[in-house]
A and B are shown apart, each in its own frame.
Chain A
Amino acid sequence: MKTLNFCNHGLHICKEGVLFWLEKEIAIVSDLHLEKGSSYASSGQYIPPYDSEETLLKLLDILNKYKVRKVILLGDTFHDKDAFLRMTSKVRFLFEDFTKKYEVIFILGNHENKIKIEGIKFHQEYIVDNIHFLHEAIQKKINQISGHFHPVASIKVSSKKITSKCLIHSNNHIILPSFGEFTGGLNINDPVLRPFISENYNIYFLTKKSIYKFSNKEIESQY
Chain B
Amino acid sequence: MSENLKLQPIQNWLKKNNWFFYDHQLETLNQSINGHDILLIAPTGGGKTLAGFLPSLHDLINNKFPVNKLHTLYISPLKALTIDVHRNLTNPIEDQKLDIRVETRTGDTSNYKKTRQKEVPPHMLMTTPESLALLLADTQAKEYFKFLRYLIIDEIHSLVNSKRGDLLSLNLSRLNNISPYCKRIGLSATIKNKKSTLNFLSQKKNSKIINIREKSSPKIEILETENRVPWSGHMAGYAITDIYKKIKLSSMTILFVNTRAQAELVFNKLWQENENNLKIAIHHGSLQKEIRRKVENLMSLGKLDCVVATSSLDLGIDWGKVDLVVQIGSPKGIARFLQRIGRSNHRFDEPSKALLVPSNRFEYLECISTIASIKANLLDEVKEKEGSLDVLAQHILGVACSNPFQVDDFFLEIKKAWPFRNLKKQIFLDVLEFVRNGGYSLKHYEQYAKIGINKNNFYAIKNKNIRNRYRLNVGTIVESYMLKVKLGNRTLGQVEEWFIEGLNEGDTFLFSGRVLEYQSITNNNIIVRSTNSAHPKIPSYAGGRLPLTSELSFQVRKLISKKEYWKHFPNQISDWLKLQNKFSGLPSVEGLLVETFPRHIKNKKRYFLICYTFEGRNANQTLGFLISKKMQRMGYKPISFVATDYALAIWSMIEVEDINVILNEDIMLDDLYEWLEETPLLKKNFRDAAIISGLIERTIPGRKKTGKQVMFSSDLIFNVLKKHEPNHILLQVARNDSYRGLIDLDRLGDFLKRIKNNIIHKRLDRISPLAVPLVLEINRQTIDKSEVDEYFLEELENEILTEVGLN
Contacts and interface: CB of A to CB of B under 8 A. Distances in A.
A212 interface: no
Nearest to A54: B720
Interface stretch (A17-25, A39-47, A96-104, A169-177): A39-47
A156 to B, nearest CB: 8
A96 B155 CA distance: 61
B466 interface: yes
B445 A49 contact: yes
12 contacts: A37-B720, A41-B448, A42-B448, A45-B696, A46-B437, A46-B695, A47-B438, A50-B721, A51-B720, A54-B723, A86-B444, A160-B502
Given A50-B724, A184-B712, 20 more contacts: A41-B447, A41-B448, A44-B448, A44-B466, A44-B469, A45-B696, A45-B697, A46-B445, A47-B438, A47-B713, A48-B440, A48-B725, A49-B442, A49-B445, A50-B723, A51-B716, A160-B502, A181-B716, A182-B716, A182-B720
Interface string A172-214: 0000000001101000000000000000000000000000000
A159 interface: yes
Contacts of A160: 501-502
A114 interface: no
Contacts of B4: none
Interface string B434-475: 100111101011011010000000000000001001000000
B442 A38 contact: yes
A111 B461 CA distance: 31
Interface centre among B445, B695, B709 (most CB of A within 10 A): B445
A140 interface: no
The 9 closest A-B CB pairs, nearest first, are: A46-B438, A50-B724, A41-B448, A41-B445, A161-B501, A159-B502, A50-B720, A42-B448, A86-B444
Interface in A47-66: 47-51, 53-54
A51 B718 CA distance: 12
A181 B448 contact: no
B14 interface: no
B804 interface: no
Interface string A207-223: 00000000000000001
Contacts of A47: 438, 695, 713, 717
Interface residues of B, number: 29
A198 B717 CA distance: 35
Interface in A8-37: 37
B757 to A, nearest CB: 42
B441 to A, nearest CB: 10
A45 B466 CA distance: 11
A88 interface: yes
A137 to B, nearest CB: 24
A104 B724 CA distance: 28
A48 B466 contact: no
Nearest to B461: A44
Contacts of B447: 41
A38 to B, nearest CB: 6
Nearest to B721: A48
Q: How large is the interface on A (under 10, 10 to 19, 20 to 34, 35 or more residues)?
A: 20 to 34
A27 B450 CA distance: 42
Nearest to B463: A44
Contacts of B724: 48, 50, 53
Contacts of B502: 159-161
Interface of B: 434, 437-440, 442, 444-445, 447-448, 450, 466, 469, 501-502, 505, 695-697, 709, 712-713, 716-717, 720-721, 723-725
B719 to A, nearest CB: 8
Given A38-B442, A38-B444, A88-B442, A48 B709 contact: no
Interface string A78-119: 000000001010000000000000000000000000000000
A43 B716 CA distance: 19
Contacts of A161: 501-502
Nearest to B712: A184
Select the residue from A37, A47, A50, A181 with max chain B CB neighbours within 10 A: A47
A61 to B, nearest CB: 14
Nearest to B397: A44
A50 B696 CA distance: 16
Interface of A: 37-38, 41-51, 53-54, 86, 88, 159-161, 181-182, 184, 223
A161 B696 CA distance: 25
A48 B445 contact: no
A48 B722 CA distance: 11
A184 B445 contact: no
Nearest to A222: B504
A49 B440 contact: yes
Contacts of B505: 223
Given A86-B444, A159-B502, A160-B502, A45 B720 contact: no
Contacts of A182: 713, 716, 720
Contacts of B720: 37, 48, 50-51, 54, 181-182
A208 to B, nearest CB: 11
B713 to A, nearest CB: 7
A160 B680 CA distance: 14
Nearest to A82: B444
Contacts of A43: 448
A23 to B, nearest CB: 35
A215 to B, nearest CB: 20
Contacts of B450: 44
Given A48-B717, A51-B720, A182-B716, A41 B709 contact: no
Contacts of A184: 709, 712-713
A41 B444 contact: yes
A49 B724 CA distance: 10
Contacts of B442: 38, 49, 88
Nearest to A42: B448
Contacts of A88: 442
Contacts of B697: 45
A32 to B, nearest CB: 14
Nearest to A87: B444
B440 A46 contact: yes
A46 B444 CA distance: 10
Contacts of A45: 695-697
Contacts of B725: 48
Contacts of B448: 41-44
B418 to A, nearest CB: 29
A185 to B, nearest CB: 8
Contacts of B438: 41, 46-48
Contacts of A51: 716, 720
A182 B434 CA distance: 20
A160 B505 CA distance: 15
A38 B439 CA distance: 13
A114 B648 CA distance: 62
A36 to B, nearest CB: 10
B277 to A, nearest CB: 38
Contacts of A44: 448, 450, 466, 469
A206 B721 CA distance: 23
A206 to B, nearest CB: 16
Contacts of A48: 438, 440, 717, 720-721, 724-725
A182 B716 CA distance: 6
A139 to B, nearest CB: 27
Nearest to A160: B502
A41 B462 CA distance: 14
A187 to B, nearest CB: 11
A93 B713 CA distance: 27
- The residue in A41, A44, A47 that gathers the most chain B C-beta atoms within 10 A of its C-beta is A44
B524 to A, nearest CB: 14
Residue from the set A37, A43, A45 with the largest chain B CB neighbour count within 10 Å: A45
A45 B445 CA distance: 9
Contacts of B444: 38, 41, 49, 86
Q: Which of B442, B505, B709 has the most CB of A within 10 A?
A: B442
A5 B677 CA distance: 40
Contacts of B437: 41, 46
Contacts of A86: 444
